[in-house]
Amino acid sequence: MKLKATLILIVGMASVGIASVIIKLCNAPPIVIATYRMSLSVIILAPIFLIFRKKVADVKETPKVINFIPLGAILAIHFVLWIASLRYTTVLSSTVLVTTSPIFVPIISYFIFKEKTKKLMIFAIIVSFIGSTLIAIAGGMQGFGENLGNLLAIIGAIAVSFYLVLGKRVRMKTDLLTYIFYVYSFSAIFLILTSLITGQKLFGYDRITYIYFVLLAVFPQLLGHTIFNWALEFFSPSFVALSILGEPVFATIFALLILKEIPSLIEIFGGVFVMTGIYIAARMEVYNKKGLP
């Protein structure tokens, strides 16, 4: 089952990897893109959930609906921040920094659940920090805007780390379909309300923009992120975060082929440092789960 789950995770990485390119092509504000991404996902999921909810209800207990509200809000914040980051920085920098969740997951787990953090984790954080600094230097060469994008991506990573840590405990108590339906629904509601309050333009876009909205909902969201949520039942949060490490690789390749976006040498070096730190952090957590030194 673990081999099958790993192969499915690779599909998830590729599906999520294409998201940054679609967002770059999309002619709409970040909040609107996030709103359509989540809302269309819920619309597609709704009939499936209504048909199969009775069957899955007997498998696991359904936690109280209130448990899904903060998860939906956190996921919404993550998407808005990350999508906004792509307005200012490159696909490589944005996706590398937003996937630093394996660094933040153990830190958050320590403060919330008092789970101990080992010295090797500190080393991983230092390595990732060096990489982030290199990316920041590269951004500084391009002006303030790119560093703003890098900062938004990092905050987005912190948000999704909270989502993984808190979502793990809720996910263990419910089936995948129920979990993603409620989380995505509350995320969509949160985004719709935010769009209305901030006076965002929700309609009147060209046809290609709506096509991009649908593609974001189907591939990165329903296929990619649903696979990551599904994987939480078989792997630890940090291992799932490790699998997300494949996103920058696929995203950079897609950006090069479709957008002709070539990252700078400093960005590449910084990305390697960050991904090395992420790898060390996530692998350490996996070894600990297996009882290895």
pTM of the full structure: 0.84
Q: Where are the domains of the chain?
A: 2-290
Give DSSP secondary structure letters for 141-204.
HH-HHHHHHHHHHHHHHHHHHHHHHHHHHHHTTS-HHHHHHHHHHHHHHHHHHHHHHTT---S-
Q: Rounded to whole angstroms, what are the CA distances from 281 to 35, 199, 238, 288? A: 32, 41, 8, 11
pLDDT per residue of the chain (293 residues) written in tens, 0 to 9: 566 777 787 888 889 899 999 999 999 999 999 999 999 999 999 998 888 876 655 555 666 889 999 999 999 999 999 999 999 988 988 988 888 887 888 788 878 876 666 777 778 878 887 888 887 777 666 655 678 998 999 999 999 999 988 988 888 788 888 888 999 999 999 999 999 999 999 999 999 999 999 999 999 888 887 787 777 777 766 667 667 677 888 898 899 999 998 888 888 888 888 888 877 776 766 555 544 33
